[in-house]
Structure 1
Amino acid sequence: MKLVKMSLAAAVLLGASAFAIDNVKVSGDAKLFYNTNDTGTLSLFDKDNSYADTALRLGVTGDLLKGVSFGVTGYAISTLGLENNLVSHVWEGTGADQSKIGEAWLAGTMGKTTVKVGRMELDTPLAFSEKWSIIPNTFDAAVLINQDLPDTTLVGAWVGKSNGSATTGDEYVVMAPSLAFSSFYQGAYAAAVVNNSFKPLTAQAWYYDVQHVANAYWLQADWDCQLVKGVKIGAQYADIDLKNSSADSSAYALKVAYAGVENLTLSAAYSDTDKDGALNVANIATTNTTSQSKLYTEAWWNYGYVGTAGAESFNVTAEYNAGFAKVGAYYTDVSNDIATSTHEMTELTVTASKSFGPLDTTLAYVSTDADDQNNGSQYNSVQAYLTLNF
């Protein structure tokens, strides 16, 4: 890995004391991700069916003045030469060793209003940073948050650029936050109201205006049911209206979760999308046809199905803390009643996670049976995630 140039995060850290920056906090991690599958004629752990990458993250935050703070996050990505030995493909981007600034923002707070400007991660229902890859995609944006109204959060945002571009070729992912930032359509506005006046219920409403492309909204309510201990119920509705087309996209989803047994959480979810949608009801900040969705039914690994036009999806999840490890089982079934659709898919994922001090480990097995993958035949994947936190 070539780290000739000092990263901006490191430079800020070294200069913090000289410029009297207060409350400086440093965090970071080192990751190694690995995936192998038995698609085609190859078997699990065959070099030509395996992918790997590593990433180093360093984040620095601090206070410049009273009510004014900053944050910088730097990444260094490297295959460490794994593609020449154990794997033939990389997990992220172009496969070249690189370093980049993922976040660089300033925030000011006055009373109960905060304004954050710069490069940052976002977490909104239809435009967000996806966390499944070795590094997340981020945005050049301005965000305003106000909490003057009781039990209510108001959000306003402008997004100008992002780096969730699509990749092609040998890269395993379809999202490439390692690439350069480019315009986010012709800019987009977002506004939201999140209310918790009735304490067991959190309701949120989001509106988006993607310039010259679409208007969209997302409604969601999550209720901690007091009638039956441990039961939570959720409902979602989303609509994406294209400005120059009548092929609008919409979806609704329902979820019931139960956590009344110690260390065990169970949930079941259902979603349905209309048949006429031109866009997936999913993240518009990455490759929309394969991007992650915030619908309750989203699969653990195979994205790009539950939000497709005409999709009817079910998800059943069980998570249990067994002491020696946290284990999870996730089943997603997506059917599609559009005759020409190739977006039917079933996925079963089983995971085991364990932390050893600062080291987080996860081992996953994924069974996939999708019309548009592996010539329509079921295949298996094994994945390993290692994260050393510091």
Structure 2
Amino acid sequence: MKTLKLSIVAIMAMGTCSFASESLQEALTSGTYEGALRAYYFDRDIGHGTSKGSIINLGIDLDYESNSFYGFKVGFGFQSSNAVNADDDGKKALSWDMYGNGAVLSQAYLSYTLSKTTLKVGRQYIHLPLMQSSGSRLIRQSYEGSTLISNDIPDTTLFVAYVNKYQNRTDGAGKIADFADLTGDYAYTTGVINKSIPNTILTVAYGELDESYDMSYLEANYKNKYNDISYGLSAQYSETDYDNSNTKDGNFYGLKADFGIGGVNAYVAYAEVNDGTAQWGVLGGGGKVVLYTSSIIDAGIYSESEQYAIDVNYTFQDLGLKVGARYIDIDFATNYSADYKLAYTDYKFKGALKGLTASLVYEEENHDLDANDFKELWAKLIYKF
């Protein structure tokens, strides 16, 4: 509540601006709606049957944002999940990310925009470096707090996000997770994204999870084309410093080279995690700050190691079909090693089924320690409207 009150005061202090709707009623009734129907099938096998099971989940997303009235908008977002086919093994194996029945109001915010700067207060999805609402599972993660994003400076985005509550995917006991207080009092991230150098995106970000750790992130991403050939070079670096002196600080860096011609796209990547254990973000799963050598399902290894990855995919433009494969090799500082093999495909329907997409991902890890081996299959059917 303290964060909400301070943010509302900040909004009022920013003054008024020209408005799109002539009345509050018009602003509320002329807003935008969007939604999605989702059907997911997950099959998981960790440690050769130590944790093994499958699940079918059905869900619906509904999002609404009002039209602007003196620069103000309100927004709401609703998510639901229903496990229609999960035995005891499936409930246990997927309890932490997929087995959660129920519904949650994931967005309920008030925003104010002045020029190209927007302040948003309340429950919201956040997509910023170091703080991400991962949507890889049926239920998307959300936050409660405030975000301020400004694009008033040409080719530059300035951002800050401060949150004190977090909604995960499930509660681990068969229900969708509700908003809960953080381990500490707060989490925040701030930084800048700059595109003033042609074909280049520079990202600088810093964040902290109270009573846990703080981290910084730097990235340079260059992409260009020569005739029908696309190519790119990227570099990333991050440091994680833990509040607990018994936890060893860590850092990582990564390098990636992209290449594409026609429907073929490929990349090779290298990464090294040094000292202790690094983090991919301040709060939330997945997102923009991921190792270039990461897999799709397991999301990446951030313990001390040396990693290599290669990915090749092909897009059949006329069909709306994409198929690809990825291989990752990891050498741990503990002298163990592991490799990942991935195959994936996406298909976008056309005509009467426009808006419907289907995807498959199969991923397996072969580790020197059998307990760390896993195989997992994701099948997703999504209709957006």
Q: TM-score range by the shorter chain?
A: 0.7 to 0.9
Q: Give me the whole-angstrom Cα distance separating, in 2, the residues matched to 1:217 and 1:255.
A: 20
Query: Does residue 295 in structure 1 map to residue 291 in structure 2?
Result: yes
Q: Give me the whole-angstrom Cα distance separating, in 2, the residues matched to 1:29 and 1:257.
A: 32
Query: Does residue 364 in structure 1 map to residue 347 in structure 2?
Result: no
**Match of 2:281?**
283
| Secondary structure of the structure 1 residue equivalent to 2:248 | coil
Q: State the TM-score, normalizing by the size of structure 2.
A: 0.81
Query: What letter is aligned with 1:257?
Result: D
For residues 283-340 of structure 1, the C-alpha deviation after alignment (integer angstroms, 9 at most, x for no partner) is 34258xx9996121111112352x12x121122111211244211212222220225x
**Match of 1:243?**
243
Q: Give me the whole-angstrom Cα distance separating, in 1, the residues matched to 2:170 and 2:99.
A: 14
**Match of 2:267?**
267
Total equivalences in the alignment: 353
Alignment equivalent of 1:125, drawn from 120, 129, 134 = 129
User: Is the 1:350–1:365 contact (alpha carbons within 8 Å) kept by the matching residues of 2?
Assistant: yes
User: Is the 1:235–1:253 contact (alpha carbons within 8 Å) kept by the matching residues of 2?
Assistant: yes
Q: Where do residues 199-348 of structure 1 align in structure 2 (5 Å cutoff)? A: 199-225=198-224, 229-245=229-245, 247-259=248-260, 261-275=261-275, 277=276, 279-286=277-284, 294-305=290-301, 307-308=302-303, 310-322=304-316, 323-324=318-319, 325-339=321-335, 344-348=337-341
- Identity among equivalent positions (%) equals 21
For residues 42-85 of structure 1, the C-alpha deviation after alignment (integer angstroms, 9 at most, x for no partner) is 7xxxxx632221211111111251311122110111113x1259
Change (3 A) 1:23 1:34: same
Alignment equivalent of 1:27, drawn from 23, 34, 41 = 34
Q: Give me the whole-angstrom Cα distance separating, in 2, the residues matched to 1:98 and 1:166.
A: 10
User: Is the 1:130–1:136 contact (alpha carbons within 8 Å) kept by the matching residues of 2?
Assistant: yes
Q: Where do residues 75-154 of structure 1 align in structure 2 (5 Å cutoff)? A: 75-80=79-84, 82-83=85-86, 91=94, 95=99, 97-154=101-158
Q: Give me the whole-angstrom Cα distance separating, in 1, the residues matched to 2:314 and 2:118.
A: 38
Provide structure 2 residue ranges, at least 5 long, that are not aligned to the other structure.
Answer: 1-22
Change (3 A) 1:215 1:97: closer
Change (3 A) 1:291 1:145: closer
CA RMSD of aligned residues (A): 3.2
Q: Give me the whole-angstrom Cα distance separating, in 2, the residues matched to 1:90 and 1:179.
A: 21
**Match of 1:178?**
177
**Match of 1:388?**
383
**Match of 2:15?**
none
Query: What letter is aligned with 1:256?
Result: A
Change (3 A) 1:212 1:86: closer
Q: Give me the whole-angstrom Cα distance separating, in 1, the residues matched to 2:199 and 2:47.
A: 49
| Secondary structure of the structure 1 residue equivalent to 2:298 | coil
For residues 162-208 of structure 1, the C-alpha deviation after alignment (integer angstroms, 9 at most, x for no partner) is 12388657x7xxxx963442226321232111111112111010011
Query: What letter is aligned with 1:270?
Result: Y
User: Is the 1:53–1:90 contact (alpha carbons within 8 Å) kept by the matching residues of 2?
Assistant: no
Q: Give me the whole-angstrom Cα distance separating, in 1, the residues matched to 2:152 and 2:372.
A: 54
Change (3 A) 1:86 1:281: closer
User: Is the 1:311–1:337 contact (alpha carbons within 8 Å) kept by the matching residues of 2?
Assistant: yes
Q: Give me the whole-angstrom Cα distance separating, in 2, the residues matched to 1:151 and 1:291.
A: 22
For residues 204-243 of structure 1, the C-alpha deviation after alignment (integer angstroms, 9 at most, x for no partner) is 1001133343332100110124689511111100011223
Q: Give me the whole-angstrom Cα distance separating, in 2, the residues matched to 1:159 and 1:104.
A: 14
More strand by share: 2
User: Is the 1:116–1:142 contact (alpha carbons within 8 Å) kept by the matching residues of 2?
Assistant: yes
